Amino acid sequence: MRLHVLHPDRRLPANPVDGPVHELRDAYGRVIRDLRVSLTDRCNFRCVYCMEPDVVFKRKMELLTDFEIIRVVRICQSLGVRRVRLTGGEPTVHPTLPELIGDLAALGLEDLSMTSNGSLVSEADLVALRDAGLRRITFSLDSLEQERFARLTRSTTTPERVLMSVRAAKRVGLDPVRINAVIVRGFNEDEVVDLAALARDLDADVRLIEYMPLDSGHRWSQDKLVSADEIIDRVSSVFPLVPVERERSSSPAARFRFADGAPGMFGVIASVTRPFCGACSRLRLSADGMVIPCLFSTSEYDLRSLIRAPATTDEQIAQFLAAATLRKQAGHAIHDANYRQPDRPMSAIGG
């Protein structure tokens, strides 16, 4: 079994920022308002664009505890973070998920959401998460064809099982309910219109995502990329689209409504061909306690060691977070000749 070797921890100086910290602002003037928190690197899927079948997961002692996660989120909130998305791996395998969501919701965040593959939750689970304080949820569904879905996810789950979770989430009042699909040429580009039609059929938000170089096998290549332009052309040839403003300037999806007035919203996340790095407001915290300034960062910073050091104060953690934010890169540079893919796959970074 192959062990994925991650790059060494990058430790910041003991006192990287002098004086009190009031916000998380990077060197390009971007202010952090959104925090992505990976609860676990474990997942019951092995999606081809994410992780290899023989991935080795972190030990429990290497992962942040609920108390540590809550502490970091609380400090980030005091520094201007307003919205938190829980990711994985697959967050629903986290053993105390409802309790953790309840504790995070009690902080009074503007928004608390989660991304899931939708294969493990029942309607009762979704009620519990809603009652704990989860406001909205996004499900991953990359194909509607059973054989293809199995090949993409390397799982025994069916597309219908994920759609059951989508319908259940709508019934219990999570809003909006979104469906994300990664489009990979040679796998599912011929399903673009069918996936977009789910927005109309389910009155949901469907977002198709360009294939990004975040797979653990490092097999990404430009020829597998289906561009936003191609995706939009394919969908609009069947369902004419009307552009809608982004939810916020920092929101990743270009959004559309259907010209015929059908329900649902359609969007495209074009990280590769239409990068939105200039308006990015995100910081990431991995399940093992590394601060990752950008989804495509090749540097990460070991917050876990600081948190677990005796007598570490909240102010020291705030200074650390501020210093890591200052190291946020201007953009992903995927098209540069010297571009280097992150060592971690998406599952270990957190989506």
Q: Are 213 and 220 in contact (CB under 8 A)?
A: yes
pLDDT along the chain (351 residues), means of 10: 38 62 95 97 88 87 98 98 96 97 98 97 98 98 96 94 98 97 94 98 97 67 89 98 89 94 96 84 96 86 96 96 94 70 72 64
**pLDDT score, position 277:** 84
**pLDDT score, position 216:** 57
**pLDDT score, position 336:** 67
Neighbours of 198 (CB within 10 A): 20
Q: Are 148 and 156 in contact (CB under 8 A)?
A: no
β-strand 282-285 against 290-292: which pairing, if any?
Answer: antiparallel
User: What CATH number is given for 34-349 in this structure?
Assistant: 3.20.20.70
Domain ranges of the chain: 34-349
**pLDDT score, position 218:** 60
Say if residue 277 is exposed, middle or buried (CB neighbours under 10 Å; 0-12, 13-18, 19+): middle
Q: What per-residue string of b and e applies to 108-141 under the rule 16 or more CB within 10 Å gives b? A: ebeebbbbbbbbebeeebbbbbbebbbbbbbbbb
